[in-house]
Amino acid sequence: MKKAILVLGLCIPFVNFYAQTNESSDSLRIIETRSISIISTQNKFIGGSGQKITPAQLQKLNQPDINKVLRTIPGVQVRDEDGYGLRPNIGLRGTPVNRCAKITLMEDGMLISPAAYSDPSAYYFPTFTRIASVEVLKGSSQIKYGPYTIGGAINLLSTPIPLQFKGFAQASYGSFGTNQERIWIGDAKGNFSYLFEVNRIASQGFKELDGGGNTGFDRRDFMAKTRWQSAPEKKIQQSVNLKIVHVEETANETYLGLNYEDFMENPLRRYAGTQKDLLNLFHNHALLQYHITPIKNLQITSAVYLTKTFRDWGRANSFGGKSINNILADKTTNITGYEIMTGQADGEVVFRSAARTFLTRGLQSNANYHFKTGALKHNAEFGMRLHQDEANRYGIQSKYQMSNGTMILTDGGEMGNQENQLRAAWSLALYADYQISYKKFSLQTGLRHEKIGLDFSNYGTADYARLGTNLSAGTNQLQIWLPGISLDYTLNANQLLFIGVHKGFSPPGMPSTTSTAQAQAETAINYEMGYRLSGQKLYVQAVLFRSDYQNLLGSDNISGGGMGTGDLFNAGKALAQGVEVSAKKVLEFSWLTTFKFPLQMNYTYTQALFQETFINGGGDWGSGQITNGDFIPFITPHLLSLSAGAENSKWDVLFSANYIGATRVKPGQDPLIFAQSNENYASVSAIRAFTTIDCSINLHLNKNWGLYASIQNIANNQRIVANLPQGYRPLMPRSIVFGIKLNLN
């Protein structure tokens, strides 16, 4: 199998493209939409509880942070980290939120994680300022969008190629030197069309580094799309699409937060020991896609892609021989390490560079055919994906000397002396989906098959040349069948009842090279039942969901509070269940002109419990006994978002508030214990609830020019937002950004 993949050379992740059953004379729009969207823009009754944030909504929000945008959709769990949403932590319906490792993350309908099978923690996330709309799919329909099919899938849609000449430019500047520049231009001439887009977003950062210094970032993004399409009068419609993306980022970002005492004194402080912490990231992606409609009602889409991502996040690992976690947990006992970390004393700083190169390639093809037989409507989809990804971990451990608050390099180290691994995976994924509709009923059945091979080679931290003198290796293969079924009942033109059940799956991670048992794949039986009202001025959706895990997977990542081995381990049976409610209402009032008042509410309740007693060996859930009935940490039970706005043809204003309830950070059933002082750090089990309020204003000067302003965290809330990766982290303080937009038609 691996030889076959290497011969092919290119692979693409397997995702289904949602087929629209209604026909349109605008063939360009049909092909562009079907190629990238997982939610039909023309069918309000999609299977499962999917929701979409439209381009118009994003333009009103003026929000570059994906975390705040996703909080407008129920069922989505987000943990803030850097304040800008550059490396989001996202979970769906009770899945872990660490680095998006348990969701299927896509851009334009394609897997975008650097190594979804072999190393799924997504340190790369698409530049959100070039995203035109966002789709979130949950429920039984998501088995088409693996490999992670328990929580759901998120699809980010980039700027589409326009049907005629269009251009757009945007520039902004605001608090902490935050600035954004974006420009794109596109056109369609005969059979050919194109789009070129350039984005840059940068900031000096809102953290205050001991001794001064930049704590911000600079990200630059280039995207090009070209398309050839057959003439509209041709009997057989075809198109060839090419997409190329290049991303570069330099971020003066750190894993290290603050202890409680220092946080209360100045939540924006950054310790002197983080002055050399730096992330460098490069991402290149190429996608070639072919679409053909050989006969009426049959669409076939095939694609190949290649993605290469490099990231090197260098950061301090210990001070004076004391680990960061120990210093944060007990400042008094580790006072020497603390004083070196804060630059008050001289001493050794161990620094680790986590250089990793990810390569992904694939081949995909899928077909959709819809037809009628009397009163019955049929829609059949079939697809396959041949996929390979790999992660090359080749990190350096070096040493610095803290001297009068300045870190001086004393030992540059050797490549591979900190981490020296190769992780590789291949997969063959197949699916079949069949939907039949009769009058008010629609039954959808699906079956997904995954066959996966995993290879792990650990050369050890002394074999810099990878000669294999101390090689520890392991392999693992598995295959699984994943069925799903859902039933929709249309009450009337605007109302729908739906129910579904499917078997969900997550790959088991790298093979074990020790006596520790190999982790098994994570599986869960997932149920949902819901109601949807979709009118012109009123939208309501209410969903009950439940996931019964058979062998929950935990992980060991520094970003999640572990040691950083990246290993996965099973935690037995578990349960995640809850309710999602979403409502939107638009009020209208006419006096000289028409005013609209959009209102929106989203609420999520999630209960996530371990259902077995076991001894946890470490990782994101800590160490020691976990008892049947303990709450799974980092899953927030109560999430609420509210928004209210006013608009007419000349301007619009939107206020939004997000409430994030108290969140457990340790397994347990006892009453929550919040941080009070450094002395009880080890017993702290939760982070307090907090609320943020934001505002966005748009002024439309004419059909081409517009001005906008956004205010984030209006109340300047400085509550603790997270205690990961290492120590307490604040919300971004109040910030104001002013900008200008230009539309060319």
Record the tokens describing residue 326, joined without a space.
């120990």
- Using one digit for the tens of pLDDT, what is the confidence trace for 357-397? 999 999 999 999 999 999 999 999 999 999 999 999 999 99
- Using one digit for the tens of pLDDT, what is the confidence trace for 524-544? 999 999 999 999 899 999 999
Residue 693: closest CA among 655, 638, 730, 645: 655
- Using one digit for the tens of pLDDT, what is the confidence trace for 599-658? 999 999 999 999 999 888 677 788 789 999 999 999 999 999 999 999 999 999 999 999
Q: Is the separation of the CB atoms in 389 and 431 below 8 Å?
A: no
The pLDDT-based confidence of 564 (bands split at 50, 70, 90) is low
Provide the pLDDT for residue 565.
66
Pairing of strands 153-158, 104-107: parallel
Distance of alpha carbon 348 from alpha carbon 340, whole angstroms: 8
Provide the pLDDT for residue 559.
62
Residue 574: closest CA among 602, 546, 594, 549: 549
Range of lowest pLDDT (74-78, 123-127, 247-251, 608-612): 123-127
What's the predicted TM-score (pTM) here? 0.93
Provide the pLDDT for residue 570.
84
Tokens 């596109």, residue? 186
* Beta-carbon contacts of residue 674 (< 8 Å; ≥ 6 apart): 662, 684, 686, 687, 688
Task: List the domain boundaries for the chain.
Answer: 2-744
The pLDDT-based confidence of 47 (bands split at 50, 70, 90) is low
Distance of alpha carbon 317 from alpha carbon 274, whole angstroms: 10
Per DSSP, the three-state class of 98 is helix
Other beta carbons less than 10 A from residue 471's beta carbon: 14
Other beta carbons less than 10 A from residue 403's beta carbon: 12
- Using one digit for the tens of pLDDT, what is the confidence trace for 138-149? 887 778 888 999
Provide the pLDDT for residue 615.
86
- How does the average pLDDT of the chain come out, rounded? 90
Which is more confident, 268 or 30? 268
Provide the pLDDT for residue 416.
94
Distance of alpha carbon 556 from alpha carbon 89, whole angstroms: 15
Mean pLDDT of 481-496: 95
Sign of CA dihedral 326, 328, 333, 336: positive
Which is more confident, 431 or 28? 431
HEC secondary structure over 660-722: ECCEECCCECCCCCCCCCHHHHHHCCEECCEEEEEEEEEEECCCCEEEEEEEECCCCCCCEEE
Omega cis (within 30) before 725: yes
Provide the pLDDT for residue 4.
40
User: For residue 198, what is the enclosing H or E element?
Assistant: strand 192-203
Tokens 């900031």, residue? 203
- Using one digit for the tens of pLDDT, what is the confidence trace for 194-216? 999 999 999 999 999 999 999 99
Q: Kindly write down the DSSP assignment for every residue of 337-361, as one continuous string.
A: HHHHHTTSS-EEEEEEEEEEEEEEE
Distance spanning both ends of the chain, measured CA to CA: 50
Which is more confident, 144 or 254? 254
Per DSSP, the three-state class of 96 is coil
What one-character DSSP code corresponds to residue 370? E
Using alpha carbons, list the distances in angstroms from residue 239 to 15, 302, 337.
19, 11, 62
Record the tokens describing residue 567, joined without a space.
């290993």
Provide the pLDDT for residue 514.
73
Which is more confident, 256 or 23? 256
Mean pLDDT of 54-78: 95
Using alpha carbons, list the distances in angstroms from residue 359 to 6, 285, 674.
13, 10, 42
Residue 26 has pLDDT above 50, yes or no: no
Per cent of the chain over pLDDT 90 is: 81
3-state helix, strand, coil in the chain (%, to 5): 10, 55, 35
Using alpha carbons, list the distances in angstroms from residue 19 to 155, 225, 301, 340, 621.
16, 22, 11, 60, 41
Provide the pLDDT for residue 702.
95
Provide the pLDDT for residue 558.
65
Distance of alpha carbon 164 from alpha carbon 188, whole angstroms: 5
Mean pLDDT of 700-714: 97
What one-character DSSP code corresponds to residue 150? S
Provide the pLDDT for residue 713.
97
Distance of alpha carbon 317 from alpha carbon 715, whole angstroms: 35
Whether CATH 3.40.50.720 fits 2-744: no
